[in-house]
């Protein structure tokens, strides 16, 4: 019921443009869907046409993009609407997995209910669970992998299909987005380690080597299928994508080795308290007010809830470990926190139970359901008084959106390019770094020329002249004299603030 109610606000203004939040990431994702529709589906060699021919710059395994493509084929005429519906479908599936997983671990309807309440209705979730990004697709497969592993771990009747399906889920979770899978992989590792310690303690020390192997074989198999094999598949995927990116001097900068500092951050970044405060404020304002942790910590020092302590410890520790590992990504982008939403939602639920215990009064001892509802309403209101107004305002902007794009510079430029060039012509665009908004809005393939390219033009000269570009578009052509000197310009004119150089 909660999930059904939560769909109502998410289905408003589905035709909202992708320029609302993180337009770079949304248009980059939608661009792959557009290329599937334009040139056919190729899951292993898909194009992101902003780095020039051969236009390869793959990152994640494009299961989300392919799903959006399939939904578009059902009869939609708008990529953005089909992609937003795709995200909402994965959001619903993720809610389903959160319910199953939370109840499996805690065996508590109250914890499950309040975790789902938080997961469905905080503004952060409402924003990103309808954005054109892969976050909820990746999160769904991570939760499904973890749920299946826990069920498989406690099962006495294991068949080949069980292991095959588990390995397939793990490979998808790792390959769609490892930064999302990371904390859930750690959980699997900890559970495997716990099982190993338990079996070692129960084994007879005089047992033969064959006996040891026989006893540990199911555990070894799970480790291979849920850890080693998925990591190997993910390595092959990353290696494959790197080789594709190396085919162009322009996309070489997006290889895994080139992006190492961007993904993980430097030690100076990680040791800066000010940087951590940026992330902590983001969590406090948008996901979980830290004030709720006070009763939670005190409550779980009691012996009566000793069996929950390890869960609380992991729920607090794993988000910190994940953020510390991929520090720069979490520092630069708020949407990466979507990977940690289940942790914060369960912490929210446990915090509510802690408040209920603290504020227990005699009147409600005989009216436990009334008390729970009363406390839930009060605590939800308390939560919304602590969340950042910016997050709420983002959602209200969805509700009141008129879908106007005339003031967004990249969209304006994209429309100008679409009017000036033919659909099959290639263009070079300056001033907007790796922006995918311009070429996606224009529905054109091309090259985003950066200031770094201009400084090192000798590296790129060969690739530039391999391609018959139709025009160069620049807002500040004086900054790119080297680029312009490489081509013969047959016509120059201005559209608004942008200069168009038509090439021979």
Q: Are 67 and 82 in contact (CB under 8 A)?
A: no
Report the distance separating Cα 397 and Cα 47, nearest Å. Answer: 32
Query: What's the chain's average pLDDT?
Result: 84
Convert the pLDDT of each residue in 442-501 to its tens digit: 999 999 998 888 888 888 888 888 889 999 999 999 999 999 998 888 899 888 889 999
Contact 460, 250 (CB under 8 A): yes
Burial of 226 (0-12, 13-18, 19+ CB in 10 A): buried
Question: What's the longest Cα–Cα distance across the chain?
Answer: 87
Q: What b/e sequence results for 333-351 when a residue is b if at least 16 CB atoms lie within 10 Å of its CB, and e otherwise? A: ebbbbbbbbbbbbbbbbbb
What tens digit of pLDDT does each residue of 264-319 get? 989 999 999 999 999 998 888 888 877 777 766 666 666 556 666 777 788 889 99
Per-residue pLDDT, 417 = 93
Q: What is the pLDDT of residues 7-52, one digit of tens each?
A: 888 888 888 888 878 888 999 999 999 999 999 999 999 998 999 8
Which range among 122-136, 166-180, 211-225 shows the weakest confidence by mean pLDDT? 211-225
For 389-408, the pLDDT digits (tens) are 555 565 565 555 545 556 78
């Amino acid at each position: 019921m909660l999930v059904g109610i939560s769909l109502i606000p998410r289905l408003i203004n589905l035709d909202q443009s992708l320029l609302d939040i993180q337009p770079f990431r949304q248009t980059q994702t939608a661009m792959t869907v557009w290329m599937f529709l334009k040139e056919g589906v190729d899951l292993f060699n898909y194009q992101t046409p902003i780095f020039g021919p051969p236009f390869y710059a793959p990152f994640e395994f494009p299961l989300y993009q392919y799903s959006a493509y399939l939904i578009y084929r059902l009869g939609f005429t708008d990529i953005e609407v089909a992609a937003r519906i795709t995200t909402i479908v994965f959001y619903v599936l993720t809610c389903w997995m959160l319910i199953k997983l939370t109840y499996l671990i805690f065996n508590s309807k109250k914890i499950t209910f309040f975790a789902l309440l938080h997961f469905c209705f905080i503004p952060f979730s409402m924003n990103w669970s309808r954005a054109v990004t892969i976050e909820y697709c990746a999160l769904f497969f991570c939760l499904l992998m973890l749920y299946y592993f826990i069920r498989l771990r406690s099962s006495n009747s294991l068949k080949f299909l069980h292991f095959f399906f588990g390995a397939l889920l793990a490979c998808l979770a790792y390959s769609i987005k490892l930064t999302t899978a990371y904390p859930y992989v750690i959980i699997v590792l900890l559970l495997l380690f716990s099982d190993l310690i338990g079996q070692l303690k129960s084994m007879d020390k005089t047992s033969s080597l064959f006996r040891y192997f026989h006893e540990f074989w199911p555990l070894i198999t799970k480790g291979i299928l849920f850890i080693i094999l998925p990591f190997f598949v993910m390595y092959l995927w990353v290696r494959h994508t790197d080789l594709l990116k190396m085919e162009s001097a322009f996309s070489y900068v997006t290889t895994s080795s080139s992006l190492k500092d961007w993904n993980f951050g430097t030690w100076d970044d990680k040791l800066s308290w000010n940087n951590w405060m940026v992330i902590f404020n983001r969590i406090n304002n948008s996901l979980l007010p830290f004030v709720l942790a006070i009763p939670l910590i005190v409550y779980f020092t009691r012996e009566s809830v000793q069996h929950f302590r390890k869960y609380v410890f992991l729920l607090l520790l794993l988000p910190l470990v994940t953020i510390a590992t991929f520090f720069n990504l979490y520092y630069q982008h708020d949407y990466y926190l979507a990977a940690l939403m289940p942790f914060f939602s369960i912490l929210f639920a446990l915090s509510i139970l802690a408040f209920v215990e603290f504020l227990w009064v005699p009147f409600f001892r005989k009216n436990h359901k009334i008390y729970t509802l009363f406390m839930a309403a009060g605590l939800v209101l308390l939560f919304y008084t602590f969340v950042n107004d910016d997050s709420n305002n983002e959602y209200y902007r969805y509700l009141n959106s008129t879908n106007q794009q005339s003031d967004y510079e990249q969209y304006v430029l994209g429309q100008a390019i679409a009017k000036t060039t033919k659909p099959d012509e290639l263009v070079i665009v300056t001033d907007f770094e790796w922006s995918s908004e311009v070429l996606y809005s224009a529905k054109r393939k091309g090259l985003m020329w950066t200031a770094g390219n201009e400084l090192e033009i000798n590296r790129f000269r060969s690739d530039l002249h391999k391609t018959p570009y139709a025009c160069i578009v620049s807002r500040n052509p004086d900054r790119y004299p080297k680029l312009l000197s490489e081509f013969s310009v047959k016509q120059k004119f201005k559209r608004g603030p942008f200069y168009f150089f038509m090439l021979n």
